[in-house]
């Protein structure tokens, strides 16, 4: 039933939804909601097919007015209550199936925070601003829509404002790196009561005090050998967290400018592939701001952003940045891995940098990047949107193959008039080309997962076989593949913990009526795939199915 519902979502739905589509050159845009109530500054897809969105409590009242405060007292129409920020929500849960939002409680300010999903699907959310800077928050999604944020009694060792986090191979352990004027990393949870944070001199070396740091929200990627890739400003290292030791210092990415906040380029770890036993780990970094962009924006000049993208293999012994160029300069954008392994570059601006009113010339056209095409042929310009999504915007992939896009607010408060780029509360979906009707006969459908040992939600052990069944009207051919995708926590142009694996298919059998049964092999270890929920997708050529959730973990005894 869920599969059918998600498939219908691909092409619009009623149920009271205000959905409008615009046909395009490549892809379409849907307007889902005119008002989400809060800015989608931070965004994460849960395995219950809901999306968590939140902004900053310090911005005062949002556009989602509450009838009752979270403490239960009534919000009235008095001037006091109309101005009281506790009578307004700053976090919402968006239900994909109903196209509706409901408010969530936030006790401390998560502005410019980080997040990672634990193995049971709980969102571990870390840091923020002022009283929220050392806070740890938990959100475990539920089916009855009664769940809410829980603030942990434990705290971080250091203040984490503009920090990044990454789930690790060890069971439900997360590392949190950096932050404004913080040059350390730490683990959640701690391994011992007295454990504190660890100094990381690399963050000192990459800090540009005259440019707002330019090493905030460092790009973190877990290599398939279990070590942590850290990119900040223009430089990068490979960090062995068990030994607290830098084991590789990579070449500096060519060109001037910077890639991290407030220059705000973006980065992805390209899909890991079973064909090399998941040993090749390759990172891609795109866009950012020119040298001096922050100071220039403060004086009303908005420097052109960076067009360049760099790719580098971080595994093995040979490391070199291979450079390519986007059609236009870009910063403040998001990079998402689509189910077919291509990279979507969406949102952003062409001039300036991050910060309040620091950017101009919105990037309205998404780009599609095809990693396997020849150099110079990899970028495709997609259908333009009419809604600017710049500072404090976000995006995430949905199970049906669409991309949810929200947010945009270059102001300290909700500001809708007399500014170049007003606060943006509309919610959109970008519909990639593979969902067009002409590809229906190529799109696998009715995907089910057969666990083989009863139950509906058993985790699949590392290296174990499992079966999937789906219908395919045309094919299959040797181009049928299977991907597993870990959805990210997205904020400030970085999709934290985003990860895609191309799984091994051990056998593929087709009946005469179009049904196909495949035997797949789960990832070999938590180094390759930290335990948790992944979106499993059948990909026929470059046309993906609707995805189903699957959980990978250590086999239970």
| pLDDT tens by residue, 94-105 | 999 999 999 999
Which tens digits make up the pLDDT trace of 488-532?
Answer: 999 999 999 999 999 999 999 988 788 999 999 999 999 999 999
Mean pLDDT of all residues in 358-381: 96
Over the stretch 296-342, which tens digit does the pLDDT of each residue have? 999 999 999 999 999 999 999 999 999 999 999 999 999 999 999 99
- pLDDT (0 to 100) of residue 67: 87
Count the helices and strands in the chain (H runs, E runs). Answer: 4, 44
Q: Which residues pair with 551 in a beta bridge?
A: 533
pLDDT of amino acid 444: 94
Average pLDDT over residues 81-103: 92
- Neighbouring C-beta atoms of residue 407, cutoff 10 Å: 28
Average pLDDT, the chain: 92
* 344-368 pLDDT, tens digit each: 999 999 999 999 999 999 999 999 9
The residues, ordered by sequence, that sit 6+ positions from 533 with a Cβ below 8 Å of its Cβ are: 47, 117, 121, 486, 549, 550, 551
Q: Which whole number is the average pLDDT over 452-480?
A: 79
234 near 253, Cβ under 8 Å? Answer: yes
Distance of alpha carbon 359 from the chain centroid: 22
Measured in whole angstroms, the distance separating CA 39 from the mean position of its chain's CA atoms is 16
Angle, alpha carbons 239-242-246 (nearest 5°):
25
For residue 312, CA distances in Å to 17, 231, 240, 322 come to 43, 12, 19, 6
Q: What would the pLDDT profile of 109-159 be if each residue is shown by its tens digit? A: 999 999 999 999 999 999 999 999 999 999 999 988 889 999 999 999 999
Torsion-angle region of 169 (φ positive above 0: left; ψ -120 to 50: alpha; else: beta): alpha
CA atoms within 13 A of residue 453's CA, in its CB half-sphere? 11
User: Which pLDDT belongs to residue 68?
Assistant: 86
- Asked if residue 499 lies in contact with residue 339, where contact means CB atoms within 8 angstroms, the answer is no
Query: Strand 266-269 to strand 20-22: parallel, antiparallel, or no bridges (unpaired)?
Result: unpaired
Tokens of 96: 């994909």
Tell me the per-residue pLDDT of 243-267, one tens digit each, with 9 for 90 and over: 999 999 999 999 999 999 999 999 9
* Residue found under tokens 């607290």: 244
Least trusted range by pLDDT, from 76-85, 305-314, 350-359, 430-439: 76-85
Q: Taking a C-beta distance cutoff of 8 angstroms, is the pair 511, 476 a contact?
A: no
Is a pLDDT exceeding 90 seen at residue 2?
Answer: no
Per-residue model confidence (pLDDT) at position 11: 36
What SS3 state is found at 389?
A: coil
For the chain, how many residues are written?
557
pLDDT, residue 71, reads 78
The CA-based dihedral angle spanning residues 363, 367, 369, 370, taken in that order and rounded to the nearest 10 degrees? -170
Specify the pLDDT at position 144.
Answer: 82
Task: Give the CA distances from residue 446 to residues 5, 224, 328, 487, 548, in Å, rounded to whole numbers and listed in that order.
Answer: 11, 32, 39, 21, 10
> What pLDDT is recorded for position 4?
34
What domains can be seen in the chain, in order of their start residue?
441-553 (2.60.40.10)
Question: Could you tell me which residues come within 8 angstroms of residue 512 by beta carbon, excluding any fewer than 6 positions away?
Answer: none
Q: Are strands 308-313 and 322-325 parallel, antiparallel or unpaired?
A: antiparallel
So what's the pLDDT on residue 555?
61
Q: Residue 110 has which token pair?
A: 């998560």
Cβ neighbourhood burial of 170 (10 Å; 0-12, 13-18, 19+): middle
* pLDDT surpassing 60 at residue 476: no
Alpha carbon distance 44, 489 (integer Å): 5
């Amino acid at each position: 039933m869920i599969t059918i519902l998600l498939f219908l979502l691909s092409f619009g739905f009623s149920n009271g939804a205000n959905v409008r589509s615009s046909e395009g050159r490549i892809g379409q845009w849907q307007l889902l909601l005119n008002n989400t109530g809060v800015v989608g500054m931070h965004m994460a897809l849960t395995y219950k097919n809901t999306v968590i969105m939140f902004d900053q409590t310090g911005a005062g009242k949002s556009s989602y007015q509450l009838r009752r405060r979270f403490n239960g007292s009534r919000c009235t129409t008095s001037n006091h209550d109309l101005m009281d920020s506790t009578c307004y929500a700053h976090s919402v849960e968006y239900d994909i199936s109903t196209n509706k939002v409901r408010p969530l409680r936030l006790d401390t300010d998560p502005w410019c925070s980080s997040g990672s999903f634990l193995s049971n699907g709980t969102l571990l959310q870390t840091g923020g601003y002022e009283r929220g800077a050392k806070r740890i928050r938990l959100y475990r999604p539920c089916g009855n829509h009664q769940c809410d944020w829980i603030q942990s009694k434990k705290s971080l060792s250091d203040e984490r404002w503009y920090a990044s986090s990454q789930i690790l191979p060890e069971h439900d352990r997360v590392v949190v790196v950096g932050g404004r004027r913080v040059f350390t990393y730490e683990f959640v949870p701690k391994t011992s009561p007295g454990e504190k944070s660890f100094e990381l001199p690399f963050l000192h070396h990459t800090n540009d005090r005259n440019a707002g740091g330019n090493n905030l929200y460092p790009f973190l990627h877990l290599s398939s050998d279990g070590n942590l890739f850290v990119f900040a400003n223009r430089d990068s290292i490979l960090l062995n967290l068990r030994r607290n030791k830098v084991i590789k210092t990579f070449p500096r990415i060519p060109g001037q400018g910077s890639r991290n906040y407030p220059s705000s380029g973006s980065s992805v770890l390209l899909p890991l592939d079973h064909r090399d036993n998941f040993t090749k780990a390759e990172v891609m970094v795109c866009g950012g701001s020119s040298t001096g962009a922050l100071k220039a924006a403060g004086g009303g000049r908005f420097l052109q952003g960076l067009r360049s993208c760099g790719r580098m293999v971080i595994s093995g012994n040979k490391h070199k940045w291979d450079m390519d160029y986007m059609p236009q300069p870009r910063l403040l954008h998001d990079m998402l891995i689509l189910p077919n392994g291509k990279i979507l570059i969406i949102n952003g601006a062409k001039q300036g940098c991050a910060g309040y009113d620091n950017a101009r010339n919105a990037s309205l056209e998404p780009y599609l990047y095809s990693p396997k095409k020849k150099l110079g042929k990899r970028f495709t310009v997609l259908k333009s949107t009419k809604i600017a999504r710049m500072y404090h915007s976000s995006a995430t992939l949905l199970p049906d193959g669409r991309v949810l896009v929200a947010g945009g607010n270059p102001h300290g408060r909700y500001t809708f008039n007399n500014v170049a780029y007003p606060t943006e509360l509309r919610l959109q979906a970008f519909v990639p080309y593979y969902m067009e009707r002409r590809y229906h006969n190529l799109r696998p459908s009715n995907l089910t997962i057969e666990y083989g040992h009863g139950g509906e939600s058993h985790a699949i052990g590392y290296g174990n076989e499992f079966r999937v069944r789906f219908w395919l009207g045309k094919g299959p051919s040797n181009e049928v593949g299977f991907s597993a995708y870990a959805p990210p926590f997205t904020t400030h142009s970085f999709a934290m913990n985003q990860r895609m694996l191309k799984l091994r298919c051990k056998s593929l059998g087709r009946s005469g009526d179009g049904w196909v049964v495949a035997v797949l092999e789960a990832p070999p270890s938590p180094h390759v795939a930290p335990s948790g929920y992944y979106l499993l997708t059948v990909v026929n050529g470059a046309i993906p199915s609707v995805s189903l959730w699957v959980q990978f973990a250590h086999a239970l005894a």
